[in-house]
Amino acid sequence: MPTTVNYRQRNGRVKRRYLRRRLEILGAAGREFRVRGFAETGMRDIAAAASLSPANLYNYFRGKHEILFFCQDNSLDRLIAALDKARRMRASAAAKLRMVIASHLRCLLDEVEGSAAHLLTAALPARQRRFLIAKRDRYESGVRNLIAAGMRSGEFVPADAALAVRAILGSLNWSVQWFKPEGPLTATQIADGFADYLIRGLLAKPDRPRRNPFEREPVPTARKSVWQEVRKRASAR
């Protein structure tokens, strides 16, 4: 007869496999949402992309709206965890904000491929939408407080912290509309360019923002290519 410890270990492995499979399905669904659009993507399309039968897919998700909710909820959990980590750092406000920006873009563009659906909250039922909006507001409030602390310390220029955080998060979230995984820029390179541009506008001194000491220095030419690529794609729209 298995011991309680063995049972818990086995149960934990089953849960991890289940979550891993849901994330794989999320990635497949995200690719379909990106190519077909959310409204035009059916569960059969997602099942085929995930190499599952439609019946097996329903063992993980009851419908594409549940996949969309899981995408949003999972992304917000990652964003809040990264924000909490940044706030605990013994570092400048600029370094903390840089980490938040980098984590935000890595989550949307790299870690959770299904985040192509990040801006589709309105497609969800009202109860799920209210839950996600409350969690999103919690995250936005945390980033706003981080910026406000930088303003109080004199590191950032005095400004409307609420307006600043909406400008920053708005530009980050919109990146899912033009980012291409097969494009020449990685999510890390884009995050580095965004952080340089957005933080520089907040700094009280015109110096270059200090980097998060836990991040590598990027290749010097990569930062320039970020904004060349963004401008090129913006003009082509």
Phi, psi of 156 (to 5 degrees): -105, 155
Asked if residue 86 has pLDDT above 80, the reply is yes
As a whole number, the mean pLDDT across the chain is: 81
Residue 70 is predicted with a pLDDT of: 86
Q: What is the pLDDT of residues 151-189, one digit of tens each?
A: 999 999 999 999 999 999 999 988 877 877 778 888 888
Calpha distance 21→17 (Å, rounded):
6
Asked if residue 210 has pLDDT above 60, the reply is no
Asked if residue 83 has pLDDT above 80, the reply is yes
Asked if residue 217 has pLDDT above 50, the reply is no
Residue 137 is predicted with a pLDDT of: 94
Distances (CA, A) of 190 to 21, 187, 222, 229: 28, 5, 9, 10
Calpha distance 27→213 (Å, rounded):
31
What pTM, to 2 d.p., does this model score?
0.74
Percent of the chain with pLDDT over 90: 38
Asked if residue 98 has pLDDT above 90, the reply is yes
Residue 72 is predicted with a pLDDT of: 84
Percent of the chain with pLDDT over 70: 78
Binning pLDDT at 50, 70 and 90, where does residue 222 land? very low
Task: Name the residue with higher pLDDT: 78 or 225.
Answer: 78
